[in-house]
Structure 1
Protein backbone atom coordinates (compact mmCIF):
# COMPACT_ATOMS: atom_id res chain seq x y z
CA UNK A 1 0.00 0.00 0.00
CA UNK A 2 2.82 2.41 0.92
CA UNK A 3 4.55 1.67 -2.37
CA UNK A 4 1.31 2.44 -4.25
CA UNK A 5 0.96 5.81 -2.45
CA UNK A 6 4.57 6.67 -3.28
CA UNK A 7 3.91 5.96 -6.96
CA UNK A 8 0.88 8.27 -6.86
CA UNK A 9 3.00 11.02 -5.31
CA UNK A 10 5.72 10.54 -7.92
CA UNK A 11 3.12 10.82 -10.67
CA UNK A 12 1.86 14.10 -9.21
CA UNK A 13 5.43 15.47 -9.06
CA UNK A 14 6.04 14.55 -12.69
CA UNK A 15 2.74 16.17 -13.68
CA UNK A 16 3.74 19.38 -11.88
CA UNK A 17 7.17 19.37 -13.56
CA UNK A 18 5.62 18.95 -17.00
CA UNK A 19 3.20 21.81 -16.26
CA UNK A 20 6.10 24.13 -15.45
CA UNK A 21 8.55 23.02 -18.12
CA UNK A 22 6.96 22.43 -21.52
CA UNK A 23 8.45 21.93 -24.96
CA UNK A 24 10.18 24.94 -26.54
CA UNK A 25 8.10 25.97 -29.56
CA UNK A 26 9.78 26.32 -32.95
CA UNK A 27 8.11 29.69 -33.35
CA UNK A 28 7.60 32.03 -30.41
CA UNK A 29 3.90 32.45 -29.68
CA UNK A 30 2.61 34.40 -26.69
CA UNK A 31 -0.38 33.13 -24.72
CA UNK A 32 -3.32 35.40 -24.01
CA UNK A 33 -3.80 36.79 -20.52
CA UNK A 34 -6.50 34.30 -19.48
CA UNK A 35 -4.40 31.30 -20.49
CA UNK A 36 -1.33 32.54 -18.59
CA UNK A 37 -3.38 33.30 -15.48
CA UNK A 38 -5.13 29.92 -15.59
CA UNK A 39 -1.86 28.04 -15.87
CA UNK A 40 -0.23 30.01 -13.06
CA UNK A 41 -3.18 29.27 -10.78
CA UNK A 42 -3.07 25.56 -11.69
CA UNK A 43 0.66 25.41 -10.91
CA UNK A 44 0.10 27.05 -7.54
CA UNK A 45 -2.78 24.68 -6.72
CA UNK A 46 -0.69 21.61 -7.48
CA UNK A 47 2.24 22.96 -5.52
CA UNK A 48 0.04 23.34 -2.44
CA UNK A 49 -1.38 19.85 -2.98
CA UNK A 50 2.13 18.38 -3.01
CA UNK A 51 3.05 20.29 0.14
CA UNK A 52 0.01 18.81 1.91
CA UNK A 53 1.07 15.30 0.87
CA UNK A 54 4.53 15.93 2.29
CA UNK A 55 3.08 17.13 5.60
CA UNK A 56 1.04 13.91 5.75
CA UNK A 57 4.28 11.92 5.59
CA UNK A 58 4.10 10.87 1.96
CA UNK A 59 7.84 11.22 1.37
CA UNK A 60 9.42 10.66 -2.04
CA UNK A 61 12.24 8.19 -2.51
CA UNK A 62 14.83 10.43 -4.23
CA UNK A 63 16.43 7.37 -5.86
CA UNK A 64 13.31 6.24 -7.65
CA UNK A 65 13.39 6.78 -11.41
CA UNK A 66 10.91 9.39 -12.49
CA UNK A 67 11.24 11.54 -9.35
CA UNK A 68 12.34 15.16 -9.56
CA UNK A 69 15.82 14.28 -8.28
CA UNK A 70 18.50 15.01 -10.90
CA UNK A 71 16.00 15.62 -13.67
CA UNK A 72 17.10 16.56 -17.19
CA UNK A 73 14.63 18.04 -19.63
CA UNK A 74 15.01 19.07 -23.25
CA UNK A 75 13.10 22.08 -24.52
CA UNK A 76 11.86 24.34 -21.72
CA UNK A 77 9.24 27.09 -21.57
CA UNK A 78 8.41 28.73 -18.24
CA UNK A 79 6.15 31.68 -17.43
CA UNK A 80 6.53 33.52 -14.11
CA UNK A 81 3.84 35.95 -12.95
CA UNK A 82 3.43 38.44 -10.14
CA UNK A 83 0.04 39.71 -8.99
CA UNK A 84 -1.67 38.19 -12.01
CA UNK A 85 0.65 39.82 -14.57
CA UNK A 86 3.57 38.29 -16.42
CA UNK A 87 6.96 39.01 -14.88
CA UNK A 88 9.15 37.02 -17.24
CA UNK A 89 8.86 34.27 -19.83
CA UNK A 90 11.79 31.91 -20.31
CA UNK A 91 12.83 29.59 -23.13
CA UNK A 92 15.77 27.19 -22.95
CA UNK A 93 17.09 24.25 -24.96
CA UNK A 94 17.50 22.15 -21.81
CA UNK A 95 17.18 22.22 -18.01
CA UNK A 96 18.84 20.18 -15.30
CA UNK A 97 18.15 20.26 -11.57
CA UNK A 98 16.86 18.52 -8.51
CA UNK A 99 14.03 18.93 -6.07
CA UNK A 100 16.40 19.28 -3.14
CA UNK A 101 18.58 22.05 -4.52
CA UNK A 102 15.78 24.37 -5.56
CA UNK A 103 17.86 25.53 -8.53
CA UNK A 104 17.74 24.70 -12.23
CA UNK A 105 20.60 24.95 -14.69
CA UNK A 106 19.71 26.00 -18.23
CA UNK A 107 21.41 25.91 -21.63
CA UNK A 108 20.88 28.44 -24.46
CA UNK A 109 18.54 30.76 -22.61
CA UNK A 110 16.14 33.42 -23.84
CA UNK A 111 14.11 35.50 -21.36
CA UNK A 112 11.39 38.04 -22.13
CA UNK A 113 10.80 40.63 -19.40
CA UNK A 114 7.35 42.20 -19.26
CA UNK A 115 6.06 45.57 -18.11
CA UNK A 116 2.27 45.89 -17.92
CA UNK A 117 1.82 42.80 -20.13
CA UNK A 118 4.10 44.17 -22.85
CA UNK A 119 7.58 42.87 -23.66
CA UNK A 120 10.05 45.52 -22.49
CA UNK A 121 13.43 43.73 -22.62
CA UNK A 122 14.83 40.48 -24.02
CA UNK A 123 17.95 38.73 -22.69
CA UNK A 124 19.84 35.92 -24.47
CA UNK A 125 22.78 33.93 -23.12
CA UNK A 126 24.61 30.60 -23.25
CA UNK A 127 23.74 29.40 -19.74
CA UNK A 128 21.44 30.31 -16.88
CA UNK A 129 20.08 29.34 -13.49
CA UNK A 130 16.70 29.78 -11.81
CA UNK A 131 16.29 30.04 -8.06
CA UNK A 132 13.07 28.09 -7.50
CA UNK A 133 12.30 29.96 -4.27
CA UNK A 134 13.02 33.60 -5.16
CA UNK A 135 12.46 33.25 -8.95
CA UNK A 136 15.69 35.19 -9.45
CA UNK A 137 17.63 34.50 -12.66
CA UNK A 138 21.30 34.44 -13.59
CA UNK A 139 22.45 34.31 -17.22
CA UNK A 140 26.08 34.03 -18.34
CA UNK A 141 28.07 33.64 -21.55
CA UNK A 142 27.71 36.01 -24.52
CA UNK A 143 24.82 37.81 -22.83
CA UNK A 144 22.88 40.30 -24.95
CA UNK A 145 20.12 42.49 -23.49
CA UNK A 146 17.81 44.29 -25.95
CA UNK A 147 15.15 46.92 -25.35
CA UNK A 148 12.07 46.97 -27.53
CA UNK A 149 13.05 50.38 -28.97
CA UNK A 150 16.43 49.17 -30.24
CA UNK A 151 19.11 49.52 -27.53
CA UNK A 152 21.55 46.59 -27.33
CA UNK A 153 23.78 45.80 -24.34
CA UNK A 154 26.54 43.17 -24.27
CA UNK A 155 27.82 41.92 -20.90
CA UNK A 156 29.54 38.77 -19.56
CA UNK A 157 26.49 38.02 -17.40
CA UNK A 158 23.38 39.44 -15.74
CA UNK A 159 21.40 38.88 -12.54
CA UNK A 160 17.66 39.51 -12.38
CA UNK A 161 16.02 40.30 -9.02
CA UNK A 162 12.34 39.32 -9.07
CA UNK A 163 11.61 41.45 -5.97
CA UNK A 164 13.18 44.64 -7.37
CA UNK A 165 12.41 43.77 -11.02
CA UNK A 166 15.90 44.89 -12.00
CA UNK A 167 18.52 43.43 -14.35
CA UNK A 168 22.09 44.08 -13.21
CA UNK A 169 25.62 43.43 -14.40
CA UNK A 170 28.60 44.65 -12.32
CA UNK A 171 31.06 44.05 -15.16
CA UNK A 172 32.08 45.81 -18.37
CA UNK A 173 29.25 46.72 -20.73
CA UNK A 174 29.14 47.59 -24.42
CA UNK A 175 26.05 49.35 -25.80
CA UNK A 176 24.77 50.20 -29.27
CA UNK A 177 21.92 52.69 -29.54
CA UNK A 178 19.09 52.60 -32.10
CA UNK A 179 20.08 53.50 -35.64
CA UNK A 180 18.95 56.87 -36.95
CA UNK A 181 19.04 58.84 -40.19
CA UNK A 182 22.76 59.60 -39.80
CA UNK A 183 23.57 55.87 -39.83
CA UNK A 184 24.72 53.82 -36.87
CA UNK A 185 23.50 54.60 -33.38
CA UNK A 186 25.45 55.81 -30.39
CA UNK A 187 28.20 53.47 -29.16
CA UNK A 188 28.84 53.44 -25.40
CA UNK A 189 31.29 51.58 -23.16
CA UNK A 190 31.33 51.51 -19.37
CA UNK A 191 30.77 49.42 -16.26
CA UNK A 192 27.82 48.41 -14.03
CA UNK A 193 24.72 48.12 -16.19
CA UNK A 194 21.36 48.41 -14.46
CA UNK A 195 17.97 47.96 -16.14
CA UNK A 196 14.84 49.13 -14.27
CA UNK A 197 12.12 47.05 -15.93
CA UNK A 198 9.14 48.86 -14.36
CA UNK A 199 10.51 52.26 -15.38
CA UNK A 200 11.77 51.11 -18.80
CA UNK A 201 15.10 52.73 -17.99
CA UNK A 202 18.69 51.58 -18.71
CA UNK A 203 21.71 52.87 -16.78
CA UNK A 204 25.48 52.57 -17.04
CA UNK A 205 26.89 53.61 -13.70
CA UNK A 206 30.66 53.95 -14.13
CA UNK A 207 33.47 54.94 -16.52
CA UNK A 208 31.34 55.87 -19.49
CA UNK A 209 32.81 56.71 -22.89
CA UNK A 210 30.70 57.19 -26.02
CA UNK A 211 30.80 58.21 -29.66
CA UNK A 212 27.98 59.47 -31.88
CA UNK A 213 27.95 60.63 -35.49
CA UNK A 214 25.95 63.79 -36.22
CA UNK A 215 23.86 64.36 -39.35
CA UNK A 216 26.58 66.51 -40.98
CA UNK A 217 29.22 63.79 -40.72
CA UNK A 218 30.84 65.35 -37.66
CA UNK A 219 31.41 63.23 -34.57
CA UNK A 220 30.85 63.53 -30.83
CA UNK A 221 33.29 61.99 -28.37
CA UNK A 222 31.98 61.84 -24.80
CA UNK A 223 33.33 60.83 -21.39
CA UNK A 224 31.15 60.86 -18.27
CA UNK A 225 30.66 59.31 -14.84
CA UNK A 226 27.35 57.71 -15.84
CA UNK A 227 24.70 57.50 -18.56
CA UNK A 228 20.94 56.93 -18.72
CA UNK A 229 18.77 55.71 -21.61
CA UNK A 230 15.03 55.23 -22.08
CA UNK A 231 13.12 52.29 -23.47
CA UNK A 232 10.43 54.73 -24.66
CA UNK A 233 12.50 57.10 -26.82
CA UNK A 234 16.06 57.80 -28.04
CA UNK A 235 16.91 60.46 -25.45
CA UNK A 236 20.33 59.89 -23.87
CA UNK A 237 21.58 61.56 -20.66
CA UNK A 238 25.20 61.76 -19.54
CA UNK A 239 25.78 62.62 -15.89
CA UNK A 240 28.57 63.53 -13.47
CA UNK A 241 31.61 65.19 -14.96
CA UNK A 242 30.73 65.24 -18.68
CA UNK A 243 33.41 66.09 -21.24
CA UNK A 244 32.76 66.27 -24.99
CA UNK A 245 34.72 66.99 -28.15
CA UNK A 246 32.81 68.13 -31.22
CA UNK A 247 33.96 69.93 -34.36
CA UNK A 248 37.09 71.33 -32.71
CA UNK A 249 35.20 72.41 -29.58
CA UNK A 250 35.71 71.10 -26.05
CA UNK A 251 32.66 71.20 -23.80
CA UNK A 252 32.40 70.36 -20.10
CA UNK A 253 29.46 70.35 -17.66
CA UNK A 254 27.61 68.24 -15.05
CA UNK A 255 24.90 66.99 -17.44
CA UNK A 256 24.37 66.58 -21.19
CA UNK A 257 21.12 65.54 -22.87
CA UNK A 258 21.06 64.21 -26.44
CA UNK A 259 17.63 64.91 -28.00
CA UNK A 260 16.16 63.52 -31.21
CA UNK A 261 13.73 64.90 -33.76
CA UNK A 262 11.16 62.11 -33.76
CA UNK A 263 9.71 62.94 -37.14
CA UNK A 264 13.07 63.01 -38.89
CA UNK A 265 14.64 60.30 -36.66
CA UNK A 266 17.83 62.28 -36.28
CA UNK A 267 19.91 63.80 -33.46
CA UNK A 268 18.73 67.41 -33.37
CA UNK A 269 19.84 69.08 -30.12
CA UNK A 270 22.29 68.69 -27.25
CA UNK A 271 21.66 70.53 -23.98
CA UNK A 272 24.56 70.90 -21.53
CA UNK A 273 23.38 72.03 -18.10
CA UNK A 274 24.61 73.09 -14.67
CA UNK A 275 27.52 75.39 -15.49
CA UNK A 276 29.23 74.87 -18.83
CA UNK A 277 32.73 75.57 -20.13
CA UNK A 278 33.36 75.70 -23.88
CA UNK A 279 36.65 76.31 -25.67
CA UNK A 280 38.12 76.05 -29.15
CA UNK A 281 41.27 77.24 -30.86
CA UNK A 282 40.70 80.99 -30.30
CA UNK A 283 38.02 81.52 -27.63
CA UNK A 284 36.76 80.43 -24.24
CA UNK A 285 33.14 80.67 -23.04
CA UNK A 286 31.15 79.96 -19.89
CA UNK A 287 27.41 79.82 -19.30
CA UNK A 288 24.78 78.19 -17.08
CA UNK A 289 23.42 76.30 -20.08
CA UNK A 290 24.43 75.67 -23.70
CA UNK A 291 22.20 74.33 -26.46
CA UNK A 292 23.78 72.93 -29.61
CA UNK A 293 21.13 73.14 -32.33
CA UNK A 294 22.62 70.72 -34.86
CA UNK A 295 19.92 71.15 -37.49
CA UNK A 296 20.25 74.96 -37.52
CA UNK A 297 24.04 74.79 -36.98
CA UNK A 298 23.94 77.28 -34.11
CA UNK A 299 25.05 77.25 -30.46
CA UNK A 300 23.04 79.18 -27.85
CA UNK A 301 24.56 80.23 -24.50
CA UNK A 302 22.08 81.19 -21.74
CA UNK A 303 22.43 82.11 -18.09
CA UNK A 304 25.27 84.57 -17.46
CA UNK A 305 27.02 83.80 -20.74
CA UNK A 306 30.53 85.13 -21.24
CA UNK A 307 32.93 84.75 -24.15
CA UNK A 308 36.64 85.66 -24.06
CA UNK A 309 38.44 85.96 -27.39
CA UNK A 310 41.81 87.61 -28.03
CA UNK A 311 41.68 89.17 -24.53
CA UNK A 312 38.29 90.73 -25.32
CA UNK A 313 35.37 89.81 -23.08
CA UNK A 314 31.80 89.68 -24.36
CA UNK A 315 28.74 89.08 -22.19
CA UNK A 316 24.98 89.57 -22.31
CA UNK A 317 21.68 87.87 -21.59
CA UNK A 318 22.13 85.43 -24.46
CA UNK A 319 24.98 84.72 -26.86
CA UNK A 320 24.36 82.83 -30.11
CA UNK A 321 27.07 81.44 -32.36
CA UNK A 322 25.78 81.07 -35.94
CA UNK A 323 27.17 79.06 -38.86
CA UNK A 324 28.95 76.69 -36.49
CA UNK A 325 30.60 79.54 -34.56
CA UNK A 326 31.66 81.79 -37.44
CA UNK A 327 29.20 84.57 -36.52
CA UNK A 328 28.16 85.89 -33.10
CA UNK A 329 24.86 87.42 -32.04
CA UNK A 330 24.49 88.90 -28.55
CA UNK A 331 21.25 89.91 -26.82
CA UNK A 332 21.75 93.03 -24.64
CA UNK A 333 25.48 93.00 -25.16
CA UNK A 334 27.98 94.01 -22.51
CA UNK A 335 31.48 94.26 -24.00
CA UNK A 336 34.82 94.74 -22.31
CA UNK A 337 37.56 95.43 -24.88
CA UNK A 338 41.32 95.28 -24.39
CA UNK A 339 42.36 98.85 -25.39
CA UNK A 340 45.91 98.12 -26.40
CA UNK A 341 46.29 101.35 -28.42
CA UNK A 342 45.90 103.52 -25.28
CA UNK A 343 48.57 101.67 -23.33
Structure 2
Protein backbone atom coordinates (compact mmCIF):
# COMPACT_ATOMS: atom_id res chain seq x y z
CA UNK A 1 0.00 0.00 0.00
CA UNK A 2 2.89 2.32 0.72
CA UNK A 3 4.20 1.53 -2.78
CA UNK A 4 0.88 2.65 -4.31
CA UNK A 5 0.98 5.94 -2.46
CA UNK A 6 4.52 6.61 -3.63
CA UNK A 7 3.66 5.80 -7.28
CA UNK A 8 0.56 8.02 -7.12
CA UNK A 9 2.57 10.81 -5.53
CA UNK A 10 5.30 10.39 -8.14
CA UNK A 11 2.77 10.44 -11.03
CA UNK A 12 1.08 13.53 -9.56
CA UNK A 13 4.43 15.25 -9.25
CA UNK A 14 5.32 14.37 -12.88
CA UNK A 15 1.98 15.72 -14.15
CA UNK A 16 2.35 18.97 -12.17
CA UNK A 17 5.95 19.33 -13.43
CA UNK A 18 4.82 18.85 -17.06
CA UNK A 19 2.04 21.43 -16.67
CA UNK A 20 4.47 23.94 -15.14
CA UNK A 21 7.03 23.28 -17.91
CA UNK A 22 4.34 23.74 -20.57
CA UNK A 23 3.16 26.99 -18.94
CA UNK A 24 6.75 28.32 -18.84
CA UNK A 25 7.31 27.45 -22.53
CA UNK A 26 4.06 29.16 -23.53
CA UNK A 27 4.86 32.24 -21.45
CA UNK A 28 8.38 32.51 -22.93
CA UNK A 29 7.25 32.09 -26.52
CA UNK A 30 4.01 34.10 -26.35
CA UNK A 31 4.29 37.31 -28.32
CA UNK A 32 1.59 39.63 -27.14
CA UNK A 33 0.30 42.54 -29.19
CA UNK A 34 -0.45 46.08 -28.36
CA UNK A 35 -3.91 47.41 -29.17
CA UNK A 36 -2.24 50.43 -30.74
CA UNK A 37 -0.76 48.07 -33.38
CA UNK A 38 -4.27 47.12 -34.50
CA UNK A 39 -5.57 50.68 -34.39
CA UNK A 40 -2.58 51.97 -36.36
CA UNK A 41 -3.54 49.65 -39.24
CA UNK A 42 -7.03 51.17 -39.62
CA UNK A 43 -7.50 54.27 -41.80
CA UNK A 44 -8.23 57.49 -39.92
CA UNK A 45 -11.94 57.65 -40.86
CA UNK A 46 -12.71 53.97 -40.04
CA UNK A 47 -14.44 53.06 -36.77
CA UNK A 48 -14.99 49.35 -37.42
CA UNK A 49 -13.37 46.77 -39.72
CA UNK A 50 -14.80 43.32 -40.46
CA UNK A 51 -14.03 40.29 -42.61
CA UNK A 52 -16.63 38.15 -44.41
CA UNK A 53 -19.88 39.96 -43.67
CA UNK A 54 -23.45 39.03 -44.53
CA UNK A 55 -26.52 41.25 -44.23
CA UNK A 56 -30.02 39.96 -45.02
CA UNK A 57 -33.06 42.23 -45.35
CA UNK A 58 -36.30 40.50 -44.38
CA UNK A 59 -39.94 41.49 -44.56
CA UNK A 60 -42.44 39.62 -42.38
CA UNK A 61 -39.75 36.98 -41.77
CA UNK A 62 -39.16 36.39 -45.49
CA UNK A 63 -35.71 37.26 -46.90
CA UNK A 64 -35.97 39.96 -49.58
CA UNK A 65 -32.30 40.43 -50.41
CA UNK A 66 -28.90 39.57 -48.96
CA UNK A 67 -25.50 41.19 -49.25
CA UNK A 68 -22.21 39.36 -48.70
CA UNK A 69 -18.72 40.87 -48.85
CA UNK A 70 -15.19 39.67 -48.15
CA UNK A 71 -14.40 42.73 -46.06
CA UNK A 72 -16.03 45.88 -44.75
CA UNK A 73 -14.93 49.06 -43.02
CA UNK A 74 -17.54 51.27 -41.37
CA UNK A 75 -17.44 54.96 -40.54
CA UNK A 76 -20.06 56.08 -38.02
CA UNK A 77 -19.55 59.75 -38.93
CA UNK A 78 -20.25 59.07 -42.62
CA UNK A 79 -22.94 56.45 -41.95
CA UNK A 80 -21.39 54.30 -44.66
CA UNK A 81 -19.72 50.92 -44.93
CA UNK A 82 -17.08 50.36 -47.62
CA UNK A 83 -17.33 46.79 -48.90
CA UNK A 84 -15.07 44.62 -51.07
CA UNK A 85 -15.83 41.62 -53.33
CA UNK A 86 -19.60 41.95 -53.22
CA UNK A 87 -22.22 39.28 -53.84
CA UNK A 88 -25.91 40.21 -53.53
CA UNK A 89 -28.99 38.04 -54.01
CA UNK A 90 -32.48 39.42 -54.68
CA UNK A 91 -34.73 36.52 -53.67
CA UNK A 92 -37.63 35.00 -55.63
CA UNK A 93 -38.00 37.35 -58.54
CA UNK A 94 -40.83 35.40 -60.16
CA UNK A 95 -39.95 33.88 -63.52
CA UNK A 96 -36.39 35.25 -63.22
CA UNK A 97 -35.72 33.33 -59.99
CA UNK A 98 -33.15 34.64 -57.53
CA UNK A 99 -31.24 37.47 -59.22
CA UNK A 100 -27.56 37.82 -58.25
CA UNK A 101 -25.27 40.83 -58.40
CA UNK A 102 -21.48 40.76 -58.12
CA UNK A 103 -19.02 43.67 -58.02
CA UNK A 104 -15.47 44.47 -56.93
CA UNK A 105 -16.26 47.14 -54.34
CA UNK A 106 -18.93 49.51 -53.10
CA UNK A 107 -20.66 51.31 -50.25
CA UNK A 108 -23.60 50.30 -48.09
CA UNK A 109 -25.68 53.03 -46.44
CA UNK A 110 -28.06 51.76 -43.78
CA UNK A 111 -30.39 54.78 -43.51
CA UNK A 112 -31.85 54.88 -46.08
CA UNK A 113 -30.76 51.46 -47.34
CA UNK A 114 -28.71 52.10 -50.45
CA UNK A 115 -25.99 49.94 -51.99
CA UNK A 116 -23.62 51.55 -54.50
CA UNK A 117 -21.26 49.17 -56.34
CA UNK A 118 -18.57 49.55 -58.97
CA UNK A 119 -15.98 47.54 -60.82
CA UNK A 120 -16.93 44.51 -62.94
CA UNK A 121 -20.62 44.74 -62.05
CA UNK A 122 -22.62 41.74 -63.28
CA UNK A 123 -26.31 41.05 -62.63
CA UNK A 124 -27.57 37.55 -63.55
CA UNK A 125 -30.75 35.53 -63.38
CA UNK A 126 -30.91 31.72 -63.50
CA UNK A 127 -32.92 32.05 -66.72
CA UNK A 128 -29.87 33.40 -68.56
CA UNK A 129 -30.58 37.13 -68.42
CA UNK A 130 -27.34 39.02 -67.70
CA UNK A 131 -26.28 42.64 -67.72
CA UNK A 132 -22.90 44.24 -67.33
CA UNK A 133 -21.91 47.75 -66.27
CA UNK A 134 -19.15 49.60 -64.41
CA UNK A 135 -21.27 51.00 -61.56
CA UNK A 136 -24.82 50.92 -60.26
CA UNK A 137 -26.97 51.81 -57.27
CA UNK A 138 -29.66 49.72 -55.56
CA UNK A 139 -32.20 51.63 -53.45
CA UNK A 140 -34.20 49.39 -51.10
CA UNK A 141 -36.99 51.94 -50.60
CA UNK A 142 -38.15 51.99 -54.23
CA UNK A 143 -36.45 48.64 -55.16
CA UNK A 144 -34.72 50.08 -58.22
CA UNK A 145 -31.32 49.23 -59.63
CA UNK A 146 -30.01 52.19 -61.66
CA UNK A 147 -26.92 53.32 -63.46
CA UNK A 148 -25.85 56.22 -65.66
CA UNK A 149 -22.94 54.19 -67.09
CA UNK A 150 -22.83 52.08 -70.24
CA UNK A 151 -24.74 48.81 -69.99
CA UNK A 152 -24.90 45.57 -71.95
CA UNK A 153 -27.87 43.23 -71.57
CA UNK A 154 -27.75 39.68 -72.88
CA UNK A 155 -30.89 37.58 -73.10
CA UNK A 156 -30.88 34.50 -75.28
CA UNK A 157 -30.67 35.85 -78.83
CA UNK A 158 -30.78 39.52 -77.80
CA UNK A 159 -27.72 41.71 -77.22
CA UNK A 160 -28.73 45.21 -76.11
CA UNK A 161 -26.29 48.05 -75.43
CA UNK A 162 -26.91 51.55 -74.19
CA UNK A 163 -26.14 54.24 -71.68
CA UNK A 164 -28.05 54.44 -68.40
CA UNK A 165 -30.55 51.93 -67.12
CA UNK A 166 -33.40 51.48 -64.65
CA UNK A 167 -34.45 48.03 -63.43
CA UNK A 168 -37.38 47.66 -61.04
CA UNK A 169 -36.80 44.54 -58.94
CA UNK A 170 -40.47 43.70 -58.34
CA UNK A 171 -41.91 44.30 -61.83
CA UNK A 172 -38.67 43.29 -63.64
CA UNK A 173 -39.20 46.22 -65.98
CA UNK A 174 -35.91 47.30 -67.58
CA UNK A 175 -35.42 50.65 -69.30
CA UNK A 176 -32.23 51.45 -71.19
CA UNK A 177 -32.15 55.24 -71.22
CA UNK A 178 -29.84 56.54 -73.99
CA UNK A 179 -27.94 55.52 -77.12
CA UNK A 180 -29.70 52.16 -77.38
CA UNK A 181 -28.61 49.57 -79.94
CA UNK A 182 -29.85 46.00 -80.18
CA UNK A 183 -28.97 42.90 -82.12
CA UNK A 184 -31.62 40.18 -82.08
CA UNK A 185 -30.79 36.95 -83.86
CA UNK A 186 -33.52 34.76 -85.30
CA UNK A 187 -33.29 31.02 -85.74
CA UNK A 188 -31.68 31.47 -89.17
CA UNK A 189 -28.72 33.33 -87.63
CA UNK A 190 -29.84 36.79 -88.76
CA UNK A 191 -32.48 39.38 -87.99
Please give the TM-score of this superposition, normalised by the length of structure 1: 0.40
Alpha-carbon offset, residue 163 of structure 1: 0.8
Aligned to 2:185: 213
Alpha-carbon offset, residue 170 of structure 1: 1.2
Distance 2:164 2:133 in 1: 9
Distance 1:204 1:83 in 2: 33
- 2:58 pairs with 47, 64, 81, which one? 81
Aligned to 2:82: 105
Aligned to 1:162: 140
Aligned to 2:176: 204
Give the unaligned 5+ runs of structure 2. Answer: 1-38, 40-45
Is the Cα–Cα contact under 8 Å of residues 120 and 200 in structure 1 kept in the other structure? Answer: no
Distance 2:81 2:69 in 1: 11
Is the Cα–Cα contact under 8 Å of residues 97 and 127 in structure 2 kept in the other structure? Answer: no
Is the Cα–Cα contact under 8 Å of residues 80 and 110 in structure 2 kept in the other structure? Answer: yes
Query: Given the alignment of the two structures, is residue 130 of structure 1 paired with residue 105 of structure 2, yes or no?
Result: no
Aligned to 2:91: 114
Distance 2:111 2:97 in 1: 24
1:136 aligned counterpart, secondary structure? strand
Q: Which has the higher helix share?
A: 2
Query: Given the alignment of the two structures, is residue 152 of structure 1 paired with residue 124 of structure 2, yes or no?
Result: no
Alpha-carbon offset, residue 101 of structure 1: 2.5
2:91 aligned counterpart, secondary structure? strand
- 2:166 pairs with 172, 194, 197, which one? 194
Aligned to 1:61: none
Please report the RMSD computed on the Cα atoms of aligned residues, expressed in angstroms. 2.1
| Structure-to-structure mapping, 1:256-267, within 5 angstroms | none
The aligned length equals 146
Give the unaligned 5+ runs of structure 1. Answer: 1-64, 179-184, 221-343
Deviation track 1:14-41 (CA, whole Å, cap 9, x = no partner) reads xxxxxxxxxxxxxxxxxxxxxxxxxxxx
2:121 aligned counterpart, secondary structure? strand
Aligned to 2:70: 93
Distance 1:208 1:148 in 2: 25
Aligned to 2:26: none
Q: Which has the higher contact order (CA 8 A, sep 6+)?
A: 2
Change (3 A) 1:120 1:200: farther
